[in-house]
Structure 1
Amino acid sequence: MIADPGERARFLAEICSPDWHLGLDRGMPVDDAIAALAALHPERADCIRAYKSRWLDMFEGADEAVVAILAELVRKGFDVTALSNFNQDLFALTVPAYPFLGWFRGATVSGTVRLVKPDPAIYALHAQTFGLEPAATLFFDDSPPNVEAARAAGWNAELFTDAAAMRRDLARWGIETETGADREEVTAGAASSAPVR
């Protein structure tokens, strides 16, 4: 919707900015957030409204190599839960499009609980909600501060980089997964944080 790369970068840095996005992750209703921002920047109102109306268009698709790992962990009976910084309204739009998000035993969504990683309180709440023993929980996240916060909460934690590295990390924790060239290729995307015990 914004053809010029420089203008697009400015829009994402200054209008639909990381701070604005963090407000969504903290639970601001997406319709309210969009209306307030569009009032401040009427010249970009169409692009701001597209943040919800074209939300799913912004995804390149799931990382099928990571989805395969999730399916395998669930099939083997591991207790897999999700802890995600995600706006509650946008999460509700995303789940039907990506059915694997329903494979978790449950999810702590930051917008719903009004806490965001790496706040220690969200890790404590997640463990309490799902009856997780921190020392028996293995957590993956693509953000180093979130990984460090999990470790500070007493969880075992690994930095997610790609599916192949995740399989190696799981193996180091004694969780063997299938391997093979088709399983090792990684597509664009990132893993949801998934404590596993």
Structure 2
Amino acid sequence: MQKDAYTLILDAIDTGIYRPGDRLVESELAERFGVSRTPIREALQRLETQSLLARDGRSLIVASLDHNQLSELYVVRSELEGLAARLAANHATKEEIDVLKEMVADDRALMNDPVALSRSNRRFHKQIHLASHNRYLVQQLDLVYRTMALMATTSLAAEGRGEGALAEHAAIVDAIEKRDEDRAYEALKKHISTAFVTRLKRDSQNNA
């Protein structure tokens, strides 16, 4: 299925081709993606409405998240992801749980590649969202993850964070497999909290 202009630009932000502060120019985007300027213009307007792009004079740039926005995002993410884990513990099929277990096992080979681990981490969380079997929750989490594309770095790049995140993933899957809704909820919330602390520490070091 051919991607539309909106998805193409969003993917480019998500994969770091365009980073916070980068200027987006209609003609350059049209040439890069091989589409006309009209759908590019409409996509840029949509992304600006969603606060993924910001105005810098007459130009549109990829937005960045300040400390308060980051804190607000993690509060919402923590609650929604925790709810997804709780629902997954109740509704996930055996096959969905098997996939989660395989993901954790496969990620052990990615410990020294933070970028690949970050992509795999996103797929792992998306699998939990889908295993909740609640379409409205999945939609809301998609919005949260869209905004997370504005983070310039991954917390998984911090020293030792990969191993810790993998152990947390294993604990989440174990709770889901045992149908322990409360433990699944708490394990995922703790996982998100630890990721946020790691990110705050990295940001403070980078700004020192």
TM-score of the alignment, normalized to the shorter chain, above 0.5: no
The structure in which a higher percent of residues are helix is 2
Q: Scaled by the length of structure 1, what TM-score is found?
A: 0.30
